[in-house]
Amino acid sequence: MKPPNYYAGLTLDRGSMLRRDAALMEALLARPTTRLVPVWRTRNLFAAANEPAARTLEAPALAGVEGLRVYLGSEDGVAYFAFDLSRMEEAEAQAVAGGTFADLRSVNPSLDRRDGGLLAYARGLVHWHNRHGFCGVCGAATTTSAGGHVRVCTSESCKAEHFPRTDPAVIMLVTHGDRCLLARSARWPTIPMHSTLAGFVEPGESLEDAVAREVKEEVGVDVVNVRYHSSQPWPFPASIMLGFTAEARGTDITLDDEEIVSAGWFDRGFLRREHHPDEFRMPRIDSIARRLIEDWIDGQ
Binding site for Zn ion (CB under 5 A): 135, 137-138, 140, 153, 155, 158, 160
- What DSSP assignment string belongs to the chain? -PPPPTT-----B--TTTTT-HHHHHHHHHSTT-EEEEEETTEEEEEETTEEEE--EETGGGTTS---EEEEEEETTEEEEEEE-TTS-HHHHHHHHTSEEE-HHHHTTSS-HHHHHHHHHHHHHHHHHHH-SB-TTT--BEEEEGGGTEEEE--TTT--EE----EEEEEEEEEETTEEEEEEETTSTTS-B-B-EEEEPPTT--HHHHHHHHHHHHH---EEEEEEEEEEEETTTTEEEEEEEEEES-------TTTEEEEEEEEHHHHHS---TTT-BPPPTTSHHHHHHHHHHTT-
Nearer to Zn ion among residue 132 and residue 284 (C-beta)? 132
Nearer to Zn ion among residue 160 and residue 186 (C-beta)? 160
Q: How far is the CB of 158 from Zn ion (least distance, A)?
A: 3
Cα separation, 86 vs 40, in Å, equals: 5
Nearer to Zn ion among residue 65 and residue 140 (C-beta)? 140
Nearer to Zn ion among residue 145 and residue 231 (C-beta)? 145
Q: How far is the CB of 154 from Zn ion (least distance, A)?
A: 8
Nearer to Zn ion among residue 31 and residue 132 (C-beta)? 132
Nearer to Zn ion among residue 155 and residue 262 (C-beta)? 155
Q: How far is the CB of 135 from Zn ion (least distance, A)?
A: 3
Q: How far is the CB of 84 from Zn ion (least distance, A)?
A: 22
Q: How far is the CB of 159 from Zn ion (least distance, A)?
A: 7
Q: How far is the CB of 129 from Zn ion (least distance, A)?
A: 16
Q: How far is the CB of 130 from Zn ion (least distance, A)?
A: 18
Tell me the torsion sign for CA atoms 182, 184, 185, 188. positive
Query: To 5 degrees, how large is the angle CA 234–CA 104–CA 102?
Result: 145
